Structure 1
Amino acid sequence: MTNTKRFGLLSIIGPGILVAATGVGAGDLSAGAFTGSLYGMAVLWAVLLGAVLKYAMNEGLARFQLATGKTILEGCFDKFGPLFGWLFLLYLGIWTFLTAGALMSANGVVSHAILPIFETPVQDKIFWGGVHSLVAVGLILIGGYRLFEKVMSVCIAIMFFTVVATAILSKPDASEFLAGFWPTIPDWQGGGLEWTVALLGGVGGTLTIVCYGYWIREEGRTTTADLSTCRYDLVSGYIMTAIFGMAMVIVGSQTELPPGSSASTVVLLADRMQEIMGEGGTFGRWLFLVGAWGAVASSLLGVWQSVPYLFSDVFESLRAHYQERKTKPISTASWPYRSYLIAMAILPMATLVFDFKQVLKWTAICGALVIPFLAFVILVLGSQQQVIGREHRNPIWSTILLSLGLILFVYALALAISKQL
């Protein structure tokens, strides 16, 4: 991993852009649209609050790493021992298989809607899902972090401007839009609370939040002097995430959507947009589909590039523990990183040959499981003076937001389990 500090706009906001692009996938698209379809724009405040809570988590993660010189996973290993390493690798393997399969499936379904090649949607899903996976591997292995960062910047620009433009073209009611920023929960006694909390917890990604620490290392940020830059780029990234999430709620509020798989909901929404926009409907449909493709393609590329970091980090910690030596630096050229990348790009392709709807519920549970744990870890490690230093402990605002997030994310996890099981 490189440690040379760069200058320029992309180097400053680059990791924040990666957080935004990787954290928004087909699940976030459909969840925002479906919640908007059910309850209109009254839940816009939940998108904003979710982005603020995820910002607090990522800020705490960056502050811990810059103050200690260790990633949050290394901090967990020091705190909880090798048992944490083994349990995390087990969790990571399950999460990777489910999430990688879901991302390939989503890319296949959306690509089929844009450019069908074979006779059946299933064949297109298999083809396009596999193509996106293999192209991502090639970009990462050949171009490294720099090419990855540039491609992701293009993808998020596509997804951001096209989806926001679609929301504007749908002509939302201005008074309803403004009212959506006042915290209310429609249908409190029914499913309103469940969907609002799920929307709040899903904003900004799950396990990929941890990967921000590796991206700032790639940019050469290694000391607490870089913390202000991290805060700036995280603010930029989560503003984009919040705007994108609100745009999806607005788009969804314009129509009724039946429940379904994430990617199929996105395609159905594009078809509904064509009906709503009348004469400009065809343009609106294609505009939205291209934006949706930018979201799912960038999410896949971001996961492919970042998740092998997690495996390499914990793997090296375990190896150093049992061999009683120092941990090797994490590198995209190392065999643990590349082996995991290739495995996650190929093995989950097996899920493309069957209906993935039954597996999606386990994907949702796995994603929801990690966020409360991460909030708890940042609260604990970030408050210990002997670990992080007195001047870098969690400030009051961070403690309040992390505590609120922990409560809400635990509740979101309970709802996800009860809903799916």
Structure 2
Amino acid sequence: MGRTDEAVTNVTAVDTGQFGTYVREMGPSWVAGAIAAGPATMASVLTAGAAFGYALLWIVVLSAVLGALAQYLSMRLGLLTEDGIVSVVERHLGDSWAWILVVDAVLAAGLAQLVIMKGLADVSAAVTGVDARAWGVAWAVVLAAGLAGRGYRFVEMAAKLLVSAVVLAFLASLLVVPVDPAAAASGLVPRIPAGVDGALVAAGVLGGAVHITLVTMHSYTMRARGWTADDYGLATFDVAVSIFGAFGAFSVAIFLVAAGVLHDPTVAADELTAVAAARTLGPLVGPYAEWLFLLGLWGAAVSTLGGNTVVPPFLVADKLGWETDISDSRYRAALVAMALVSAAGAFVGGAFFPLLVLVLAFGLVGTPFVLVVVLYLLNSEAVPERNSASANLGGVALLAVAVVTAGSFVREQIAGGLTDPTTVFVAAFSAFVGVATVALVGRYLRERVTALGRGVEG
């Protein structure tokens, strides 16, 4: 380690005198932010405002806070171990746990990849009139060529530019959208509207920020930049600005615009379309609202697709002992394969807004497991200095919110009856990761009890 353990683990490690350098050098969390601030989150937040007014403002705000906390804990594990999360899990927990993590994350990222590609292809078709399936194939080829040729830094550069542009657009819209302060304030009181729709949308909103894909990718994006424990201050600043700052502003602004302009009690969460959502920008750009919204959605989909594509190859390469950059031909081939397979998303039926919300909620179901993994490792011999009490308290609170929100979604899905393949799959996946999560918590508690017993005997 380049610093003493005390300096490395200090949460106040940000040096305000390095502000200019931090702004120039930040980046890895912006890739996570590009995935978080993508079309899936836009769909969830817009749906929340359109279907329920200001009622879910609390979870939109909470998603930014908890999203930053989740990335901070992930960042901390990556910097203190200076290794990929899968390698750390394999070394300290065992091969089986590493495979469970890989399967959990790859499944969530893979499903998201297909739906995001569907959204990008559908938007491209709406703008050009060319068949969406042709666009899906074309975008897959472009994505494969771009990632194989330029790798991670290309994704990071696009993420910074596109996220910043989308955030500024929606912040500007708040200047003309009529926001009801009293109603908005009432939306800060935690409650989930009754029924499957409320639980699904709430899980989707939280899943946009607290997602297994974002948590698992962070150690790899920092390694791609060559960051070590000496960059703790820069990495902390990176998380705060990109996730809490940019992503938080993005989510709250979109939600307030939707609640103020688009809200209609008759809107069903599973019926919102991209064209209907485009009306949220009407006060800002008048008759050009639909086109500007579709272009914004297109930009968000491009940046999100690029960021999401690198996640499964990162995890699989780490598990198989490959290098996690394009200098390794095996990793490059995995990138190309992931990009090309995503073309299948353009052939998926249905409206992509409801599918995006469902994918985020599904990802949230798999997130408690990875949060337990991160907290376990941060309180083990895997790191030179274990978590502080405040970091653990925040992590447990984050885990509790994720479990309750995901559990509410799963419970409502099952209550509706196991009548379709999607519901059955969600239930089966939930059972799998639920058992794994409980087993890992049990293992940690047994180890702690054993250690305390040895301490008493000593």
1:338-378 per-residue CA deviation (whole Å, 9 max, x = no partner) reads: 22212222224234224156976874464123310121112
Alpha-carbon distance, 1:89 to partner: 4.1
- SS of 1:169's equivalent in the other structure is coil
Alpha-carbon distance, 1:191 to partner: 6.2
Contact 1:159-1:290 at 8 Å conserved across structures: no
**Alignment map for 1:71-110 (pairs within 5 Å):** 71-110=84-123
Contact 2:325-2:332 at 8 Å conserved across structures: no
Contact 1:47-1:203 at 8 Å conserved across structures: no
Q: Which residue of 2 aligns with 1:293?
A: 298
Alpha-carbon RMSD across the aligned residues, in angstroms, is: 2.9
Structure 2 Cα separation of the partners of residues 302 and 354 of structure 1: 21
Alpha-carbon distance, 1:104 to partner: 0.8
Number of residue pairs matched? 388
Question: 1:207 is matched with which residue: 208, 213, 218?
Answer: 213
Q: Which residue of 2 aligns with 1:273?
A: 280
Cα 1:231/1:161, change in 2 over 3 Å: same
Cα 1:179/1:374, change in 2 over 3 Å: same
Structure 2 Cα separation of the partners of residues 96 and 189 of structure 1: 27
Structure 2 Cα separation of the partners of residues 199 and 353 of structure 1: 26
Q: Which residue of 1 aligns with 2:250?
A: 244
**Alignment map for 1:5-404 (pairs within 5 Å):** 8-9=21-22, 11-113=24-126, 115-118=127-130, 123=131, 125-180=132-187, 182-185=188-191, 187=193, 192=198, 195-203=201-209, 205-223=211-229, 225-238=230-243, 239-253=245-259, 254-255=261-262, 256=264, 257-260=267-270, 265-270=273-278, 272-273=279-280, 277=283, 280-316=285-321, 329-355=323-349, 363-364=359-360, 366-384=362-380, 386-389=381-384, 392-404=385-397
- SS of 2:387's equivalent in the other structure is coil
- SS of 2:26's equivalent in the other structure is helix
Cα 1:132/1:189, change in 2 over 3 Å: closer
Contact 2:78-2:219 at 8 Å conserved across structures: yes
Contact 2:201-2:357 at 8 Å conserved across structures: no
Cα 1:32/1:98, change in 2 over 3 Å: same
Structure 1 Cα separation of the partners of residues 348 and 368 of structure 2: 32
Contact 1:104-1:130 at 8 Å conserved across structures: no
Cα 1:149/1:190, change in 2 over 3 Å: closer
Letter in 1 for 2:404: Y
Which TM-score applies when normalising by structure 1?
0.82
- SS of 1:41's equivalent in the other structure is coil
Structure 1 Cα separation of the partners of residues 181 and 310 of structure 2: 40
Contact 2:66-2:209 at 8 Å conserved across structures: no
Give aligned-pair identity as a percent: 22
Alpha-carbon distance, 1:240 to partner: 0.9
Cα 1:388/1:149, change in 2 over 3 Å: same
Contact 2:197-2:269 at 8 Å conserved across structures: no
Alpha-carbon distance, 1:106 to partner: 0.8
Which TM-score applies when normalising by structure 2?
0.76
Cα 1:173/1:138, change in 2 over 3 Å: same
Cα 1:337/1:220, change in 2 over 3 Å: same
Structure 2 Cα separation of the partners of residues 361 and 51 of structure 1: 17
Alpha-carbon distance, 1:329 to partner: 4.2
Contact 1:74-1:313 at 8 Å conserved across structures: yes
Q: Which residue of 2 aligns with 1:3?
A: none
Alpha-carbon distance, 1:93 to partner: 4.8
Structure 2 Cα separation of the partners of residues 356 and 188 of structure 1: 25
Range with bigger deviation, 227-236 or 305-314 = 305-314
Structure 1 Cα separation of the partners of residues 62 and 355 of structure 2: 29
Structure 2 Cα separation of the partners of residues 329 and 215 of structure 1: 13
Cα 1:353/1:38, change in 2 over 3 Å: closer
Letter in 2 for 1:222: T
Q: Which residue of 1 aligns with 2:409?
A: 416
Structure 2 Cα separation of the partners of residues 48 and 234 of structure 1: 16
Cα 1:128/1:416, change in 2 over 3 Å: farther
Letter in 2 for 1:375: L
Contact 2:147-2:336 at 8 Å conserved across structures: no
Structure 2 portions without partners, runs of 5+: 1-19, 414-421, 424-458
Structure 1 Cα separation of the partners of residues 196 and 110 of structure 2: 34
Alpha-carbon distance, 1:186 to partner: 6.1
